[in-house]
Structure 1
Amino acid sequence: MPALPPPAPPPTIAAPAAIEWPDTPVARLQALAMLQALELALVTQDSATLVLDDWCAKHHLAPPGSKVIAERQPGAEKPAPADVRASLHVGADEPIRHRLVALRCGGHTLSIADNWYVPSRLTPEMNRQLDSSDISFGRIVRPLDFRRTTLSSQILWKPLPDDWDSTAPSPRDTRAKLAIPPRVIENRAVLVLPDGTPFSHVVENYTGEVLAVAPPAR
């Protein structure tokens, strides 16, 4: 029997080089406001997929009617760490599946998401779709009427210092470009059924491409 190929490495998050915002106080303030708005939507709504659908449409990141797809990364499966099993209320012998996806809208990768889920708490058809399609997890399990419990949420990049509203802005070369990093927000959450049973633990890294919009005027 021929040897199996090695597992595919997980996708890397490339720097959003195509996004060119001017490095000005106004641009930095707008970038901060957008990140705060996205983080707020993610922690107050149950489906990250629907949040990104709205974000993509609102900021014209793809043609009208486009939806977020979850591009699966086969071969990048990871075992569930102890803290993930604890959050899902399962023992060491309970099967847990892992799905690594790049959530894309149009030509933009908006998020790289690790998802550990308990297949016995989903329907057979949901498990089939998760194994064989690029439909996002949130869309597949939506009939479960799940709720999202945020474990942590962090804006990883601050375009402005914490005291920006009480200090004078530093002089900047308005010809310079704002350096937007590959990762801008990290969220960890558990999805639960209406009776409170957890079935999914997600770690979502939102990329600088969420800011792939027309920059403010110079």
Structure 2
Amino acid sequence: MRRLRPEAVALATFATLALTGCGIGGIKDFEKTLASNDSATAALGQWCAKRALAAPPVIRALADRSALIPASPAIRKRLGVSAEEPIAYRHVQLACGDQILSVAHNWYVPSRLTTEMNRTLTTSDKPFGKVVAPLAFRRDRLAQKQGAMPQCPADTILSHEAVLRTPDGKAISLVIECYTPGNL
């Protein structure tokens, strides 16, 4: 059996979306929802409710606790930490009902979170954005791409890379978010 290259899978996904009427208009609507929120969790919750993907529209983080990707020097630089500062990694699928809406890679600085936040992130299915919401973070988008960034699955419809910062400007997290066709 012949296997399709990732680019062919992505092209087929976009063609299918265009033919079903969920293509560019749906993606643009989705992008607007994401852009209007500092929290991807909040944006996905709004999107899930708007599209009636589940009742209630609750976003859950399905964590792969065995995944580990060490923070590269570039990630450490973006987070503003030394080579010795501990960095945690969380790999999750964000779901609403039975729909996977996002696959996310998240490197975060545990020392910039509370003890309770760190415990919740390592033991629960709560999304990062919901857990750290009390920090009143803002999102600095570093990159956006229709389709997949290198860390994303081939059928990704939209990719973001961002740093989340506290009001005083300290970086708490670098995320790479891979949004799935389940959004459309």
Same fold (TM over 0.5): yes
What SS does the corresponding residue of 2:145 show, helix, strand or coil?
strand
Counterpart amino acid of 2:39?
S
Q: Distance in 1 between matches of 2:60 and 2:92?
A: 9
Instruction: Name 1:205's counterpart in structure 2.
Output: 178
Query: Are the aligned partners of 2:68 and 2:89 in contact in 1 as well (CA < 8 Å)?
Result: yes
Instruction: Name 1:4's counterpart in structure 2.
Output: none
Query: Are the aligned partners of 1:182 and 1:208 in contact in 2 as well (CA < 8 Å)?
Result: yes
Counterpart amino acid of 1:124?
T
For the pair 1:124 / 2:97, whether they are aligned, the reply is: no
Instruction: Name 1:99's counterpart in structure 2.
Output: 90
Residue 184 of structure 1 is aligned with which of 150, 157, 161?
157
Tell me the CA shift for residue 41 of structure 1: 2.6
Q: Which has the higher contact order (CA 8 A, sep 6+)?
A: 1
| Unaligned 5+ runs, structure 2 | 1-8, 10-15, 149-153
Tell me the CA shift for residue 57 of structure 1: 0.7
For residues 15-94 of structure 1, the aligned pairs below 5 Å read: 24=19, 27-28=20-21, 30-63=22-55, 65-94=56-85
Change (3 A) 1:108 1:196: same
Q: Distance in 1 between matches of 2:35 and 2:113?
A: 23
Residue 141 of structure 2 is aligned with which of 150, 157, 160?
150
Instruction: Name 1:161's counterpart in structure 2.
Output: none
Q: Distance in 2 between matches of 1:109 and 1:33?
A: 20
Residue 111 of structure 1 is aligned with which of 90, 98, 102?
102
Q: How many residue pairs end up in the alignment?
A: 168
TM-score of the aligned structures, taking structure 2 as reference length: 0.85
What SS does the corresponding residue of 1:183 show, helix, strand or coil?
coil
| Unaligned 5+ runs, structure 1 | 1-14, 16-20, 158-180, 212-218
Question: What percentage of aligned pairs have identical amino acids?
Answer: 42
Query: Are the aligned partners of 2:147 and 2:155 in contact in 1 as well (CA < 8 Å)?
Result: no
Query: Are the aligned partners of 1:76 and 1:100 in contact in 2 as well (CA < 8 Å)?
Result: yes
Change (3 A) 1:33 1:90: same
Q: CA RMSD, aligned part only?
A: 2.2
The structure that has the greater radius of gyration is: 1
Q: 1:53-94 deviations in whole A, cap 9, x for unaligned?
A: 01111001112x231000110110110012111100011111
TM-score of the aligned structures, taking structure 1 as reference length: 0.72
Q: 1:166-216 deviations in whole A, cap 9, x for unaligned?
A: xxxxxxxxxxxxxxx7210000000000000111000000011111xxxxx
What SS does the corresponding residue of 1:91 show, helix, strand or coil?
coil
Q: Distance in 1 between matches of 2:38 and 2:183?
A: 19
